[in-house]
A = this chain, B = another copy of it.
Amino acid sequence: MKIAILGYGNLGKGIEAACAQNPDMELVGVFTRRDPSTVKTLTNVKTYHADTILDMKDNIDVLVICGGSATDLPKQTPEYAKYFNVIDSFDTHAKIPEHFANVDEAAKAGGHIAMISVGWDPGMFSLNRLYANAILPEGKDYTFWGKGVSQGHSDAIRRIEGVQDAKQYTIPVEAALHAVRNGENPDLTTRQKHTRECFVVAKEGADKARIEKEIKEMPNYFADYDTTVHFISQEELNRDHAGIPHGGFVFRTGKTGLNKEHDHVIEYRLKLDSNPEFTASVLVAYARAAYRMNREGMSGCKTVFDVAPAYLSPLSAEEMRAHLL
């Protein structure tokens, strides 16, 4: 199937790399709002200006939209769903119902599949919440994130006066993980679930004590957490904190038996060296599903909940049953 990318940041580059791992996919082009002659792709895939994308309409089976959730995707996904099968990683959980409604209308009008909110959270984590809730109706859900880089929290630190650069790691509290895994069903406060570790490059002459105080007291972002702040040099930040790792845990603990006498723990864990590349790998698998579902006559907005797992695999149904079941 023929894949195109709209938006060439970290996620777009991840899609490019993921397509190279899937022999049934051909990456036909990267579309950008920048001057395409200035955008150099990793695999020499051709770049085009986003405004010319309709010229390629018949040569694209699925368009992977790699914009941001704040302003890009709410506009782009409904717009392009009119013309293409599309997929996005819209991750503003609270606004998913609104995004779904907008995209569904456009996709149905165009007769296309539009797969939204694909990735790992929302995405694989959501799937695990759904499966585990369906299996264990009486139980408790826990989601932990990390250890990983939170872009939003890193950005928040960078906006503080006197900060030159920063990277923030979200870290699940080991004792909390242990208690949940042990079936203790703890009630956990925000502080008991995660800690935050910040690596900060201060500008020359900046008041480090004030910066540290501002970070630790920042409402919503840090005030409710045990936060550690390390001041390091730009060289150290570049050398030791260049990656974008992430991951986390989804647990459901529940009881079965007529007298609720048996306890069960379902745990799903991701440990990711590269958040954007893993997200891209999930998107590419669901791009395969979008293409196949549309070929079977389906249209409209879909989420990971609506996709039978078989659509994701390049294997035939017979191969899957023989080797994976």
Contacts and interface: CB of A to CB of B under 8 A. Distances in A.
A282 B93 CA distance: 27
Contacts of A321: 96-97, 100, 303, 305
B281 A256 contact: yes
Contacts of A257: 17, 274, 277
Copies of this chain: 2
Given A265-B271, A267-B268, A321-B96, A285 B43 contact: no
A153 B314 CA distance: 36
A130 B320 contact: yes
A179 interface: no
Contact of A131 (B124, B280, B314): B124
A308 interface: yes
Contacts of A278: 135, 256, 262, 264
Interface residues of A, number: 72
A237 interface: no
Interface of A: 14, 16-18, 20-22, 42-43, 93, 96-97, 100, 117, 122, 124, 126-131, 133-138, 181, 183, 256-258, 261-274, 277-278, 280-282, 285, 288, 303-310, 312-314, 317-318, 320-322, 324-325
